[in-house]
A and B are shown apart, each in its own frame.
Chain A
Amino acid sequence: MSKTVNGVVIDDTFAEAFGMSGTGIIITADTLKWARIAATVATGFGTSVIGCGAECGIDKELSPDETPDGRPGVRILIFGFSPDALVPQIRNRIGQCVLTSPGSACYAGFKADKTIGLGKGPRLFGDGFQTAKKLGGTRYWRVPVMDGEFVIEEETGLTTDAVGGGNMLILGTDRAGLLETAEAAVDAIAKVDDVITPFPGGIVRSGSKVGAKYAGMFASTNDAFCPTLRGTTKKTELAPDTLAVLEIVIDGLTSKAVADAMRAGLKAVTDIGAKRGVTRITAGNYGGKLGQHHYHLKDLI
């Protein structure tokens, strides 16, 4: 039974999500501006594991009190299919995007028993001039660079209990109002720790189905949710007045974080309600057989 909250219909369905490997990394710099720049670049081209190799995003900004070096920082999260798949992603993203960014330093942003290399690769840029400094149980590498030293922690924590693909689809009759509502949901999700929304601005407009008519395409457009195909495809999910659908995809270090994020996102949407043209919220799933994690919308409102 679907439910209606503040004029928005909430389908009795669930978001189906997958187990992933994930890690957190703290990037600091002389100013928050430069920490943000390094973090934004390092998490770029990280929307979907299908084509990007990893799903990445900024979790939150950190005050100087919260970082190991007392400078402003940003915490990013990186998710991949497996720990082995994360290794080259971390090495390349940190090596090309953080090491190169003025004044940057890089630390473990996730504490766990399992660890994954953080500075193990990038330290070799030091060409033998790099030195290590071990304080307590933590080893830092100091790599001489042209503006001083790039400091990077040797390892960061790793979880194989991360969740990728928590989602919600927001349907509406007004494209501008729908986008504003989705933005509000992304803003609300951003306040939840340990989660990211990896797509552009946190929002996907090209929801996909599994497979395609073309060989080699793993995913293709979700025609049942394309408003311009309404009535011309075998099956449409859209009511006659629906003009657009936007999806929010959520990755989290824990299943609870993803559930909390979905709850925050749903609340933001229903708080705005039907007045901005949102008519319905649903979620993407594959019948429940593919993903280990199911998030029922009715449990989250």
Chain B
Amino acid sequence: MSGFTLRLKAPATERLTLSGITPAKLSALSALEIARLPVGVEKGGVTLGDAFEISGSAGDVLTLEGATAELDYIGHGLDSGTIRVIGNAGTYAGRKMSGGKLEIHGNAGDFLASGSTGGMIHVRGNAGDNLGGMVQGDRFGMLGGLAVVEGNIGARAGDKMRRGTIVVRGKTGAHTGSRMIGGTIWAEGGFGPEPGLMMRRGTLIGPSVEKLLPTFVDTGKHDLVIVRIISRYLKTVLGDLAPKPMPLFVQKIGGDLATIGRGEILLPAS
């Protein structure tokens, strides 16, 4: 498996933007052109070659070694191939991704997978706020694809999310699925307080909710075919990373009735 490796030379003194730096793009450029790609955000005009040791050759895997939370927009616009991040990622990782795979062997910052339409993101550690959430100026949050976080995540995950699936092995922060329009968020460790604030449609699945909003109503216990389909789909695409299937019967909490109320929170039926 050939490909380039970028190793951060020294702790970043400013935020670095890796927007558009994908395996396909680097493979089409010469070594000189790669080194000259701008990554700085301040006046100095820091280039990729200034900040990183570049090694390897063209291929469909790009490895970022020694990555820190100062590296923003990792995997922005990724459409094919794999980006492997050894360390942490900053804000906006996987933004507007449409295909390929982004592996983060550490923690991810805020707005992971914002506006993404496809592909797979796998975070070994935790992720910040607004995972799959809407960035100001966009119309929607996540629009497709799959994001898996093995740790915990921050607040407002799936804000204005329209499609796609987020799987969290740990717990979520407050207001998961706020303003959600569609898609699925499965939190194996349970939801923080007040999930689904102003959600229209979409599905939140988990074992527990810290505190429900008063605009959500219990619609009773059901054995929903769609939950079986979601479980099977996740088992197929994620293998061992897939969440454990829900029990046959789930408690469906419908809302947010402050909107059209077609959203749902599915909890194990007690």
Say whether B224 contacts A149, CB under 8 Å: yes
Interface of A is mostly: strand
Q: Which 9 A-B pairs have the closest CB atoms?
A: A135-B233, A69-B228, A151-B225, A105-B225, A69-B225, A134-B163, A70-B228, A69-B229, A142-B226
In Å, the complex CA distance between A133 and B203 comes to: 9
B223/A131 in contact, CB under 8 A: no
Query: Are the C-beta atoms of A136 and B237 separated by less than 8 Å?
Result: yes
Asked if A133 and B232 make an inter-chain contact with CB atoms under 8 angstroms apart, the answer reads no
Interface membership of B160, Cβ < 8 A: no
Q: Are B232 and A131 in contact (CB under 8 A)?
A: no
Complex partner residue of A71 from B164, B183, B222, B228, CB under 8 angstroms:
B228
Q: Is the CB of A135 within 8 A of B201?
A: no
Contact check, B226 vs A133: say whether CB atoms are below 8 A apart: yes
Please report which residues of chain A, range 72-116, place their CB below 8 angstroms from some CB of chain B when the two chains form the complex.
105
Question: Known interface pairs A133-B184, A134-B144. Does A151 touch B223 (Cβ–Cβ under 8 Å)?
Answer: no
Distance to closest chain A CB from B66 (angstroms): 34
Q: Say which size band chain B's interface belongs to.
A: 20 to 34
Quick one: CB contact mask for A114-145 with B, threshold 8 Å, 1 for yes?
Answer: 00000000000000010111111010101000
Task: Tell me if B258 is interfacial: C-beta within 8 Å of chain A.
Answer: no
Which of B201, B203, B225, B233 is close to A136, meaning CB atoms less than 8 Å apart? B233
Interface of B is mostly: mixed
A→B interface (CB under 8 Å): 28, 68-71, 105, 129, 131-136, 138, 140, 142, 148-149, 151
Q: List 7 A-B contacts (CB under 8 A).
A: A69-B229, A105-B225, A132-B182, A133-B184, A136-B237, A148-B223, A149-B225
Q: B165, B223, B224: which contacts A135 (Cβ < 8 A)?
A: B165
Q: Which of B228, B233, B237 lies at the interface centre, i.e. has the most chain A CB atoms within 10 A of its CB?
A: B228
- With A129-B262, A148-B223, A148-B224 in contact, is A135–B229 under 8 Å at CB? yes
* B225 adjacent to A133 (CB under 8 Å): no
A151: chain B residues within 8 A (beta carbon): 225-226, 229
Q: Collect the chain A residues with CB atoms within 8 Å of residue B184's CB.
A: 133, 135
Closest to B233 in A: A135
Specify which chain A residues have a CB less than 8 angstroms from the CB of B228 in the assembled complex. 69-71
CA gap between A131 and B163 in the complex, in Å: 12
A69-B225, A138-B233, A142-B226 given; name 6 further pairs at CB < 8 Å: A69-B232, A133-B226, A134-B144, A134-B164, A148-B224, A151-B229
> Distance in Å from the Cβ of A143 to the closest Cβ of chain B?
11
Cross-chain contact A140 with B226 (CB below 8 angstroms)? yes
Q: How far is the CB of A155 from chain B (nearest CB, A)?
A: 15
CB contacts (< 8 Å) of A71 on chain B: these are 225, 228
B29 CB-CB contact with A under 8 Å: no
A136 and B229 CA atoms in complex are apart in Å by: 12
**A-facing mask of B11-37, CB < 8 A → 1, else 0?**
000000000000000000000000000
- For B234, give the chain A residue with the smallest CB separation: A135
Question: Does B41 make an interface contact (CB < 8 A)?
Answer: no
Which one of B201, B224, B226, B237 has the highest number of Cβ atoms from chain A below 10 Å of its Cβ? B226
- In whole angstroms, how far apart are the Cα atoms of A208 and B107 in the complex? 72
Distance (Å) between the CB of B256 and the closest chain A CB?
14
